[in-house]
């Protein structure tokens, strides 16, 4: 059963699931942070901001990510598709892994239906926490929390 926790209880190495929104000032604000009891897959679910097919890179949550040839891309109906289907504004769910020095490295990507209002989500290990400024880093992505951010222990 989940229960509320304080921001000061977050520890580097914990596995988090974060829901939030990319703000106009380019910051990512966490609406809800859940400390999961056991690690799962590292994931990012967000709209593509930029696609560079020539350089094989995408941008999500203000982070540029590499697309290696082995990245599996599926459309919303779970059918295999190719890189040409990737367009800015498309909602994607990316499974991958965080690597020191490289950041988040995608392994699988699924195109999702883009709705009028989408909530971005991250799942991964807490790499850094700044308690004074209420900032975190998960999957190499800087995240801010505020007094309205809900924090839960699953």
Read off the pLDDT of residues 116-136 as tens digits, 9 standing for 90 and up.
778 899 999 999 999 999 999
76 CB-near residues (< 8 Å, 6+ apart): 110, 111, 112, 113
Give me the CATH number covering residue 85.
Answer: 2.40.50.320
Element of type H or E holding 59 = strand 57-60
Q: Does 26 have pLDDT greater than 80?
A: no
Task: State the residue for tokens 């769910």.
Answer: 93
User: What are residue 18's DSSP bridge partners?
Assistant: 33, 122
**Confidence label for 27 from pLDDT (cuts 50, 70 and 90):** confident
Number of folded domains in the chain? 1
Residue pair 140/42 in contact (Cβ under 8 Å)? The answer is no
Q: Could you report the per-residue pLDDT of 51-78, keeping only the tens digit for each?
A: 999 999 999 999 999 988 888 899 888 7
Q: Could you report the per-residue pLDDT of 5-16, keeping only the tens digit for each?
A: 999 999 999 999
Structure tokens at 129: 């926490």
Domain membership of residue 51 as a residue range: 3-153
**Confidence label for 25 from pLDDT (cuts 50, 70 and 90):** confident
| Beta pairing, strands 72-74 & 103-112 | parallel
Quote the mean pLDDT of the chain. Answer: 92
């Amino acid at each position: 059963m989940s229960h509320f926790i304080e921001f000061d209880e977050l520890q580097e190495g914990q596995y988090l699931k974060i829901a939030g929104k990319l703000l106009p000032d380019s910051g990512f604000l966490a609406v809800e942070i859940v400390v999961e009891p056991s690690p799962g897959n590292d994931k990012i679910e967000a709209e593509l901001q930029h696609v560079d097919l020539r350089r094989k890179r995408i941008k999500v949550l203000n982070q540029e990510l590499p697309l290696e040839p082995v990245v599996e891309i599926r459309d919303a109906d779970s059918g295999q598709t190719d890189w040409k289907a990737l367009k800015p504004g498309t909602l994607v769910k990316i499974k991958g892994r965080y690597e020191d020095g490289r950041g988040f490295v995608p392994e699988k990507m699924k195109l999702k239906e883009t709705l009028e209002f989408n909530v971005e989500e991250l799942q991964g290990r807490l790499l850094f926490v700044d308690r004074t400024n209420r900032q975190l880093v998960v999957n190499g992505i800087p995240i801010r929390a505020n007094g309205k951010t809900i924090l839960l222990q699953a």
